[in-house]
Chains A and B, each alone.
Chain A
Amino acid sequence: MSLFQVKDLAVHFGGIKAVDGVSFEVEKGSIFTIIGPNGAGKTTIFNLVSRINDPTAGSIHFEGRDITRVAANQVASLGIARTFQNIELFDNANVMQNILVGCHVHVGTSLLSEILRLPSFTQREIESRKNVEKIIDFLGLDAYRDSTVGSLPYGLRKMVELGRALAVSPKLLLLDEPSSGLNVEETDNIGSWIRDIRDVLGVTILMVEHDMRLVSAVSDRVLALNYGKLLAIGTAAQVQRDPAVISAYLGN
């Protein structure tokens, strides 16, 4: 029984079939990567999983539970966190606050206790800050704790977004093109972070990525997608050798 399953998932925007009957399973503790040319529907799958869009058909199961219709803001509390292709951080807040937002589902203080600063509130608040502090250490963001995110360089902001996702303390982490906009060196770092997250924090990872070096470096299984259809699934090596995939990338 795998941690996460997608069955015959399909979504149509007007006439376009963005995702067209895709099925796959992600084993607990594995790193599963979706690849494919631009517009293949990779991000769309993420948006379906994090419930930003509704699927036209098919089902999504997480820990054996059907989450195809849960509300978008419920996904996090189930233990699924995500990052975004072009960073979606809270630019006017500092790193600390951004990551604290990640703890949202775990803090659960009532408005009244916040206004009156009840001990219960203070204690909860401190817990979550401890938690955030751990993540900041883990990602080595100590130096930037108080700097406004909007003023940080791109690479760091990616890390902050990663940290925010981790603050949800997810069982499944969705990474949307973690390497996009990074240089070679940064990409390698990201690679090792991803592995650490799996190995140290034991988080299962589902990612969309196009940098094949990164993909083959970290992925246990790879799924190739084109025009919303599944082309091939298997190890990085297998998929890369698959003729269908090659022709898709060469585009004929």
Chain B
Amino acid sequence: MNEFLQQLVSGIAVGCVYALVALGFVLIYKATDIVNFAHGEVMMVGAFLGLTFIEILKLPYWIGLLLAIACMTVFGMLLNRFLLRPLAGQGILAVIVVTLGLSILLRAFASVIWGPETFALQTPFYNRVVRVGEVVLSQEHVAIIVLTIVLVAALYAFFRYSRIGIAMQATSENQLAAYYVGIPVQKVHSLIWALGAATAGVAGIMLAPIAFVQVNMGYVGLKAFPAAVLGGFGSIPGAIVGGVIIGVVESMAVLYLPEGINNVAAYILLLLVLMVRPQGLFGIQSKRRV
């Protein structure tokens, strides 16, 4: 039982990381119709920035975290401006290929700038544990979950109440209409990218203490996509739930299922969803009109 609870918690923690990455590219997809296959690598960049501030420049953890997030927003805007805006109106294949190319480039540049080695990122929670009765939980896991909840709550409030947040929603719903009512669509897009990159960055920095920081950590992005589809692409709560589900399923699979299933659990889920309910758990299906 304790074993189960502990696994549940660490599963949720990993799921939260998936969820944040998924959330990032769902935001971007909704607003700009661009599916960013490089979002895992964006997360990786975030982790490396965190590393730079916290380990290399020896800044306090929280300050380093904030600085990294700040840099990520800028990074997101730059990506949007120089790579993805030119993609506007291009087809899905173009988007897939360009973002895949981007992921290759980001990995390459990271290994040039920071080197191919693996790095450790110290956190205030390093190797501490929380005891809840018999259950022993790693503070790193708990921290991830708490941070995610806070972040999601903040985002929710932002979209619900802030003027720009509402503008973003409008743009996601219908770009043309938004444009007509005088929303600066371009600006909103780059803000969305900023937001998407920032959430990914947070995910990366939170993942760092358990998975370390290294060039290939971006492959987590491959789990985020099933998460997003599971929640019905384009639904933000969906992305969160999807991420957590996948995290939990994976870690349970290691414990209770034959070897190897855990490696493909996420993808089996994805296929099931696509076959049975392509619109996902939360999404709504739209048909092309002639």
Footprint of B on A, CB under 8 Å? 43, 47, 52-53, 84-86, 88
Contact = CB atoms under 8 A, between A and B. Distances in A.
A164 to B, nearest CB: 15
A150 to B, nearest CB: 14
B290 interface: yes
Contacts, number: 8
B195 to A, nearest CB: 31
A42 to B, nearest CB: 12
Interface of B: 287, 290
8 contacts: A43-B290, A47-B290, A52-B290, A53-B287, A84-B290, A85-B290, A86-B290, A88-B290
Q: Chain A binding site: helix, strand, loop or mixed by DSSP?
A: loop
Contacts of B290: 43, 47, 52, 84-86, 88
A224 B290 CA distance: 21
Leading 3 A-B pairs by shortest Cβ distance: A84-B290, A47-B290, A52-B290
A86 B288 CA distance: 13
A84 B288 CA distance: 14
A114 B290 CA distance: 32
A52 B287 CA distance: 10
Contacts of B287: 53
Nearest to A50: B290
Nearest to A47: B290
A250 B290 CA distance: 26
Contacts of A86: 290
Contacts of A52: 290
Nearest to B287: A53
A146 to B, nearest CB: 26
B140 to A, nearest CB: 46
A88 B290 CA distance: 8
